[in-house]
Amino acid sequence: MKQDVDLKQNLDSKQNLALFDLDNTLLAGDSDYNWGLFLINEGLLDGKTHQARNDQFYQDYKNGNLDIYQFLEFQLKPLSEHPKTFLDALHLKYMEKVIRPMMTQKAQELVDAHKAAGDLCVVITATNSFVTKPIATAYGIEHLIGTDPEMIDGQYTGGVQGVPSFQEGKVTRINDWLKARGQQLGDFSKSYFYSDSHNDLPLMKLVTNPVAVDADPTLTAYAISHEWPQISLRT
């Protein structure tokens, strides 16, 4: 059964933290998977070889057995093959053709409700920050924790910088990010995390208010057994 999420807070309470997964949570689709399809449609990748591997990695992700470093080697390689200026222009087209149709009014309303409540809002996603930063910005969310592509002298190398923001890596990344701000999870009266995926259970178990959003079967079962709220952000 779908449940409403209570965003009310007392005037004298401390600030709350609102964490949002992106793909299949705020977005009605997967920005990482669709970026590969977009590059194929733009003639920048070979469809036969790339799409088969893209599909397999996506299935591995849904099954919970994705090798994140093997996937990132595959997914970040195209960034290393083009200048940053070209990629930025390409991403503008990607936003208009692919991403904006996946942005839902309900997702925007949820983000706006947290912002209006004065909550610290952060998108935390396994998808690389090149793809996701403009999407977070489009939702009006300033802070993004994504998997960071390595860049040297203004050019993407195809490698990864730091810890990928995936599974337990999301716990590491949010703790490091908060520590750099002189904060920790326990400083917040309430900490929300909205996600669709069982891959996010390590972080969902740590926040005070985990919320399953259009969740996969594994997360749905876990949410039911632990009486977590379940909501839909689809139009």
Distance between CA atoms of residues 170 and 145, nearest Å:
8
Asked if 3 and 194 count as a contact pair (C-beta separation under 8 A), the reply is no
pLDDT-derived band at 5, boundaries 50, 70, 90: low
Q: What is the pLDDT of residue 7?
A: 58
Residues 6+ apart with CB under 8 A from 145: 122, 123, 124, 125, 165, 170, 173, 174, 177
Q: At what angle do helices 31-41 and 68-76 cross, to 10 degrees?
A: 30
Q: At what angle do helices 129-138 and 84-94 cross, to 10 degrees?
A: 50
Distance between CA atoms of residues 227 and 53, nearest Å:
37
Residue 65 has pLDDT above 80, yes or no: yes
How many domains, in total, are found in the chain? 1
Evaluate whether residue 12 is within a structural domain. no
Mean pLDDT calculated for residue range 190-194:
98
Q: At what angle do helices 129-138 and 31-41 cross, to 10 degrees?
A: 110
Evaluate whether residue 1 is within a structural domain. no
Evaluate whether residue 2 is within a structural domain. no
Quote the domain boundaries for residue 105.
17-231
Averaged pLDDT score across all residues of the chain: 93
Distance between CA atoms of residues 126 and 18, nearest Å:
17
Residue 11 has pLDDT above 50, yes or no: no
Catalytic residue among 23, 119, 148, 196: 23
Residue 4 has pLDDT above 60, yes or no: no
Bridge partners (DSSP) of residue 122 are 19, 143
Task: Note the pLDDT tens digit of each residue in 159-172.
Answer: 999 999 999 999 99
Q: Is 60 a catalytic residue?
A: no
Q: What is the pLDDT of residue 134?
A: 98
Residue 10 has pLDDT above 50, yes or no: no
Asked if 196 and 24 count as a contact pair (C-beta separation under 8 A), the reply is yes
Distance between CA atoms of residues 128 and 131, nearest Å:
6
Q: Phi and psi of 198, rounded to 5°?
A: -65, -20
Evaluate whether residue 5 is within a structural domain. no
- Distance of CA 184 to CAs 57, 172, 206, Å? 33, 12, 12
Residue 9 has pLDDT above 60, yes or no: no
Q: Is 4 a catalytic residue?
A: no
The one-letter code for the residue type at 127 is T
Task: Note the pLDDT tens digit of each residue in 88-136.
Answer: 999 999 999 999 999 999 999 999 999 999 999 999 999 999 999 999 9
What 3-state DSSP class applies to 90? helix
Q: What is the pLDDT of residue 1?
A: 44
pLDDT-derived band at 235, boundaries 50, 70, 90: confident
Residue 145 has pLDDT above 50, yes or no: yes
Catalytic residue among 21, 32, 148, 216: 21
Evaluate whether residue 24 is within a structural domain. yes
DSSP letter (8 states) at residue 232: -
Asked if 202 and 170 count as a contact pair (C-beta separation under 8 A), the reply is yes
Q: Domain containing 80 — which CATH number? A: 3.40.50.1000
Residue 188 has pLDDT above 80, yes or no: yes
pLDDT-derived band at 48, boundaries 50, 70, 90: confident
Residue 153 has pLDDT above 60, yes or no: yes
Task: Note the pLDDT tens digit of each residue in 19-47.
Answer: 999 999 999 999 999 999 999 999 999 98
Evaluate whether residue 8 is within a structural domain. no
